[in-house]
Structure 1
Amino acid sequence: MLPEVTAVRYVTPLREGGSLPGIVEADNLGTYVVKFRGAGQGPKALVAEVVSGELARRLGLPVPELVVAQLDPVVARAEPDEEVQELIKASAGANLGMDYLPGSLGYDPVAHPVEAELASRVLVFDAYVENVDRSWRNPNLLVWHGDPWLIDHGATLYFHHNWARAANVVHRAYKWDDHVLKPYATAVPAAAADLVPRLTADLLDEVLTLVPDEWLAEFDFDSAGDARAAYRDHLLARAAAPAAWVPAP
């Protein structure tokens, strides 16, 4: 399982996020950016955050620590914003927390060039998980102590929004024309040669085990085990056909 913390204080909302995530203090004295299960995207966004975020970490990419943040609606009492109050009340139980990086900056592709190996690895990873949200308009990258960090993977794995058609899009090509790291990703073939063989059933099972059962059992399947098997089978099939989705420079 992911590390588990309990939220003790809601600090402030991050209104630039479409799901209205918030900064929360936890009982381990840590501070986290929390995505709430009661937000419009629902638990599928949290599943995508864990699967893609922890997969990226195991592939050597920089992702802030993820935790399961247990939330008691009582923390909403001190929040004056009614919209936030309702969101917290609708999100009792397990939510997704990401370690807050104090002092981090939003990524600027001009001010913060990324070396070719890392940029290429990020691009190949994004192509695999079909990340539609790493464009120059919305990079979902932070710069912390001079290094880039990958955040916000709730828009990945979008095949899971229509399981009836998921098998038909396993080999879907990745649209990367506006990927924020495209100018720096000049080593894509080498990155793919390294990453693709590591996308194994064992790795996917390890990552999928980290997703709380309650997020998986809320939709589409009779059990969390059935849901994990469906994700694993889809992602394994995609890994077996890299020619279909690895960007061709």
Structure 2
Amino acid sequence: MCGRYAISMPPEAMRDLFGFLDEPDFPPRYNIAPSQPVPLVIRESDGEGRPRRRFLLVRWGLVPSWAKEMPQSLLINARAETIAEKPSFRGAFRHHRALMPADGFYEWQAVGKGPKQPFYIRRKDGKPFAMAAVWDTWMPSGGSELDSCAIVTTDANEALAPVHHRMPVILDEKDWDLWLDPAATEKELLALLRPAPEDLMEAIPVSTRINRVANDDASLQERSLVDPEPEKPARPKKPATDERQMGLF
């Protein structure tokens, strides 16, 4: 599962990397949470039918176009293993795929009985990357339309499995066009939904300040270890009693 992530690259750098013509206005974010607006890169045709990439700001938490009402639980992740069959995701998988720019994402590791240790997971070379995403447009009765998305996840690779058993699908740059191509076959698309190479990412332990959504600054990505919960002193054992003897009182 991916429940928090970061994207702090300047808008101009994002435009140059992902090759869209829009001028995005998206501030640096270090602790993006579900239900918040997130940037996507999608493909559409221009006025003459030629393909182009476009910047789109959407809500994180997919609402399928066919939904009669807002889902009670946020659909923030779509499992790669079932994305082509699950009713909530299959339409978006077939018709509305996107690149989700990111600098890194966060996962939590259980540490004994104390608080979980958060980790910031990024590329070892520090470069931004694209997570595979699906999106859709929902139009409720009597309301304005809502664009929303979910991150595609897969099994974690061996390097990240000790932290969490799932990870976002991180698309190689050479595969961006294929993921966005409306003519791509299901077989071609599913082949892209695999764990990242073992040597691509690194996991950095960070402070539990990341747990609070209101905290959103660069210091969240600084190395920090969670203090283990102190062990409770053992209770003294009660002296054994000899049940064969009667008490005086």
User: TM-score, normalised to structure 2's length?
Assistant: 0.25
Give the strand-richer structure, 1 or 2. 2
Higher helix share: 1
* Larger gyration radius, structure 1 or structure 2: 2
